[in-house]
């Protein structure tokens, strides 16, 4: 079973399967048993062709984000090389889900989780507690607090963010689902110091995994380390919820100190999880209009990730 989301626009539609087909695959570099990588990719093509008749007539492609976890960039690159040789599959111009991330095993005890962190990370968590940083679970009514902090973060780190309504809608819908007893659970955590909000994160919990979606922080009181206590609180809550893993959801592909997001790499990897690499989004094209659409996607990605950031400096 797989979920397929459809986005329609003036000249067609795009179908998206967020996590591909979740079946065992014998991934190089691991001892996992299952079908071969070639067979899995062929299965994606067959699945797309089966679903084509159920999608809008002008659907350009079915896009997958397959959960293929590689332990090294070399193994990931071997997968992308295989993709390039397959005639009915194409790599998407930009990944929908972050292809590189850190996964924390929540089957471990809290003591083991702390022990696996870098010593400075354990120290920072204790420091935040000692300094009186408090963490509370917010609601959709706290969206102004989160967004104000997020705007500060966006200016500091030169990142693009959605309008406030996007995050408000996420929290409101989550509260509606929680009221009906549905899962997963979306939570807003707010860290406060001397009654002042100094950092916040939004997380998603389900039984399979917990995901750290968004993080924001003030430029003030960074020395009391609120971000570390926020993450530790969310990790403990995810474990109590019954999630199997905690996904830090996106890091640079390696530890290159010159990468503009190297600080994010250091922060997330310091919690002691396992770094994994995925091939990114994969398309199965349906029409000739796909080529024009992906050219427009590449241009849009270049604008937002390169040109627009230059104007912000």
Secondary structure of 192-220 in the HEC alphabet? EECCEEEEEEEEEECCCEEEEEEEEECCC
pLDDT bracket for residue 303 (50, 70, 90): low
Query: CB of 197 within 8 A of CB of 226?
Result: no
Can you give the pLDDT at residue 312? 56
Q: Compute the average pLDDT of residues 99-118.
A: 97
Q: What is the CA radius of gyration of the chain?
A: 21
Q: Answer whether the bond into residue 13 is a cis peptide, omega within 30°.
A: no
Question: What band does 204 get if pLDDT is binned at 50, 70 and 90?
Answer: very high
Whole-number Å distance between alpha carbons of 6 and 22: 19
Looking at the predicted structure, is the pLDDT value of residue 300 above 90?
Answer: no
| CA–CA dist 14, 208 (Å, integer) | 27
Q: Residue 99 pLDDT more than 70?
A: yes
**Is the Cα torsion angle 137, 140, 144, 146 positive or negative in sign?**
positive
Which residues are 64's β-sheet partners?
A: 17, 282
For residue 36, the model assigns a pLDDT of 85
- What is the Cα 55 distance to its own chain's centre? 26
Q: Has residue 306 got a pLDDT over 90?
A: no
Query: Residue 32: what pLDDT?
Result: 60
What is the average pLDDT value for the chain, to the nearest integer?
Answer: 90
Segment 228-244, tens digit of pLDDT: 999 999 999 999 999 99
Say what the pTM is: 0.89
Calpha distance 198→216 (Å, rounded): 9
- Mean pLDDT for 36-53 is 90
Average pLDDT for 272-300: 92
Strand residues in 18-154 grouped as ranges (E): 59-64, 90-91, 100-105, 134-138
- pLDDT of amino acid 158: 85
More confident residue, 24 or 84: 84
pLDDT at 247: 97
Q: What is the pLDDT of residues 136-160, one digit of tens each?
A: 999 999 999 999 999 999 999 888 8
With a cut of 60, say whether residue 309 has pLDDT above it: no
Residue 21 has pLDDT above 80, yes or no: no
Q: At what angle do helices 164-179 and 143-157 cross, to 10 degrees?
A: 140
Q: Which residue has the tokens 């997380």?
A: 203
State the pLDDT at residue 2: 75
**What average pLDDT score do residues 168-180 get?**
87
Cβ-contact 205, 237 below 8 angstroms: yes
Residue 34 has pLDDT above 80, yes or no: no
Phi-psi region of 249 (alpha: psi -120 to 50; beta: other; left: phi over 0): left
CA distances from residue 212 to 175, 185, 194, 267 in whole angstroms, order as listed? 18, 12, 25, 13
Predicted pLDDT at 186: 95
The bridge status of strand 282-285 relative to strand 90-91 is antiparallel
* Band of pLDDT at residue 200, cut at 50, 70 and 90: very high
The confidence score (pLDDT) of residue 87 equals: 86
d(CA 84, CA 267): 34
């Amino acid at each position: 079973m797989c979920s397929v989301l459809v986005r329609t626009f003036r000249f067609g539609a795009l179908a998206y399967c967020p996590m591909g087909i979740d079946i065992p695959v014998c991934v190089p570099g691991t001892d996992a048993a299952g079908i071969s990588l070639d067979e899995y990719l062929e299965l994606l093509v067959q699945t797309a062709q089966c679903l084509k008749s159920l999608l809008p007539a002008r659907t350009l492609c079915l896009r997958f984000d397959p959960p293929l976890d590689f332990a090294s960039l070399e193994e990931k690159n071997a997968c992308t090389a295989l993709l390039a040789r397959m005639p009915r599959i194409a790599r998407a111009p930009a990944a929908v889900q972050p292809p590189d991330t850190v996964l924390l095993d929540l089957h471990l005890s809290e003591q083991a989780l702390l022990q696996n962190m870098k010593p400075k990370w354990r120290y920072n968590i204790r420091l935040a507690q000692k300094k009186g940083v408090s963490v509370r679970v917010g609601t959709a009514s706290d969206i102004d607090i989160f967004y104000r902090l997020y705007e500060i973060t966006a200016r500091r780190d030169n990142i693009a963010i959605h309008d406030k309504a996007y995050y408000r809608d996420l929290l409101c819908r989550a509260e509606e689902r929680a009221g009906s007893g549905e899962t997963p659970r979306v939570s807003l955590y707010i860290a406060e110091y001397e009654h002042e909000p100094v950092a916040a994160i939004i997380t998603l919990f389900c039984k399979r995994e917990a995901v750290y979606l968004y993080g924001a922080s003030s430029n003030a009181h960074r020395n009391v380390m609120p971000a570390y206590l926020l993450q530790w609180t969310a990790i403990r809550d995810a474990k109590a919820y019954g999630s199997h893993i905690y996904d830090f959801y996106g890091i640079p592909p390696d530890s290159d100190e010159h990468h503009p997001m190297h600080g994010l790499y250091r922060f997330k990897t310091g919690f002691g999880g396992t770094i994994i690499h995925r091939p990114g989004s994969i398309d199965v094209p349906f029409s000739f209009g796909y080529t024009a659409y992906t050219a427009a996607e590449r241009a849009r990605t270049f604008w937002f990730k390169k040109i627009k950031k230059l104007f912000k400096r």
